[in-house]
Amino acid sequence: MSLDLSTYKSEKKPVKIESINLQFSKSLSDKQKEVFYRELSMLLKSGVDFKKALEILGNQSSNKFEKEIIIELKNKVVEGRSIYESIKETNQFSPYEYYSIQIGEETRKLEEVLAELQKYFNRKIQMKRQIISVLTYPAIVMLVTFLVLYFMLNKVVPMFSSVFRQFGNELPKSTQIIIKLSNHSGAIFTVVLAVIIGLIATHTLLKKDQNYRAFTTKIILKTPYFGNLIRKIYISRFCQAMNLLITSKTTLINSLTLTAKMIGFYPIEVAIEEIKEDITRGASLHESLKKHNVFESKMVSMVEVAEQVNQLETMFERLTEQYNEEISHQTKMIGVILEPMIIIVIGVIVGVIMVSMYAPMFDLSKIINK
């Protein structure tokens, strides 16, 4: 069921819209989408019809690429296609977005769905900024450490090595290892770089393969601290999607089907397929969720209570807020955990190199004094 555009009547009252300042790119950024959804929702709520709203946003855009996307959207809608189909065919929007918009069309709550998408991208942007802020210092320290290590292995260690060779004394085992690493440092750094490029290429080629997705997500979820954080991020999206769909009076089975497409996280996708089968056989939602470790027990307990009082949409909304708060807190804690760990690792690496190089020097000084 497509949205009836005639339900959005134009009003003569002018609406002031912020300009969309976008940087040139071949894909829309999260910030671009956040502004797009905010302004489109505001226009529709003000009584502007969908075609006119896109025309206004297209005219205000100073970015050629974004203007082309908006014009393409408007033309597809004018041709009679649904907004959901038009959004999907641009290849600029994720399944979470166009399936949400599909629900908005079918339930005639497009303005509310667009507002929710704006909030979703606003939270996503804030989280990215938090992560960037937290990781900037550790990243700089790691880069400097890498450069210092490269300099020491290629300049400092060879200098000490030439001195040791002149005296011909037997060197400690640690010193021998450091010198060997120095002699092969070029090859080592090349191999490390090749491995990184290889991993990126492998991920790019296999990211849609089901076996690869199962393998990588299993490793990710077992990663200390970060695995739990990533799981909470996707559970938050699950709760947000379920809240949106159930509030729109979508049936539970259809809500789960669309949520699986919207989330794009392998463990949840697999779990949802089994949950749907259980519910079809007569099981409750909380009983079905309980069978899968990807969902936390506290979430299952709260869903059980919500089912008893018939308030699933309210509970999913509260769970979304709760998980977002936990994600924000854990993201801030990343820096608190990483910074001392990085300093310790750097201290150990530099300390081992310096001790390995200077220990033989003391032995040489004794020989010279004799």
Q: What is the pLDDT of residues 309-348, one digit of tens each?
A: 988 889 999 999 999 899 888 888 887 888 888 888 888 8
How much is the average pLDDT of 222-241? 90
pLDDT in tens, 254-276: 889 888 887 888 999 999 999 99
Q: Which residue has the tokens 């695995």?
A: 227
- Of residues 14 and 121, the one with the higher pLDDT is 121
Query: Do 331 and 229 touch, CB atoms closer than 8 A?
Result: yes
Q: Where in the chain is the domain with CATH 1.20.81?
A: 5-93
In whole numbers, what is the pLDDT of the chain averaged over residues?
83
Sign for the pseudo-dihedral over CA of 185, 187, 193, 199: negative
pLDDT greater than 70 at residue 20: no
What are φ and ψ of residue 345, in 5° steps? -60, -45
pLDDT at 147: 85
Amino acid 145: pLDDT: 82
Residue 6 has pLDDT above 90, yes or no: no
Say if residue 10's pLDDT is above 50: no
Percent of the chain with pLDDT over 90: 22
3-26 mean pLDDT: 42
C-alpha span between 281 and 153 (Å, rounded): 65
Residue 262 CA: distances (Å) to CA of 233, 234, 238, 244: 14, 11, 8, 12
For residue 134, what are its two tokens?
């937290």
**Count of other CB atoms within 10 angstroms of residue 300:** 17
* Residue 47: exposure state from Cβ atoms within 10 A (0-12, 13-18, ≥19): middle
Structure tokens at 287: 């009983």
- Per cent of the chain over pLDDT 70 is 90
d(CA 100, CA 245): 8
Closest by Cα among 120, 140, 122, 121 to 132: 140
Give the tens place of pLDDT for each residue, 147-164: 888 888 888 788 777 777
Chain center to CA of 323? 15
* AA identity, residue 89: E
The answer to whether residue 93 scores a pLDDT higher than 70 is yes
Q: Please classify residue 45 by burial: count the beta carbons closer than 10 Å to its beta carbon, then call 0-12 exposed, 13-18 middle and 19+ buried.
A: middle
> 120 falls in which pLDDT band (50, 70, 90)?
confident
pLDDT of residue 370: 52
- For residue 238, is pLDDT > 60? yes
- The span from the first CA to the last CA of the chain, in angstroms, equals 96
Q: List, in sequence order, the alpha helices (H) in 264-311.
A: 266-280, 285-290, 297-309
Separation between Cα atoms, residue 176 and residue 319, nearest integer Å:
57
Q: Does domain 5-93 have CATH number 1.20.81?
A: yes
Lowest mean pLDDT among 40-49, 71-80, 127-136, 355-364: 355-364
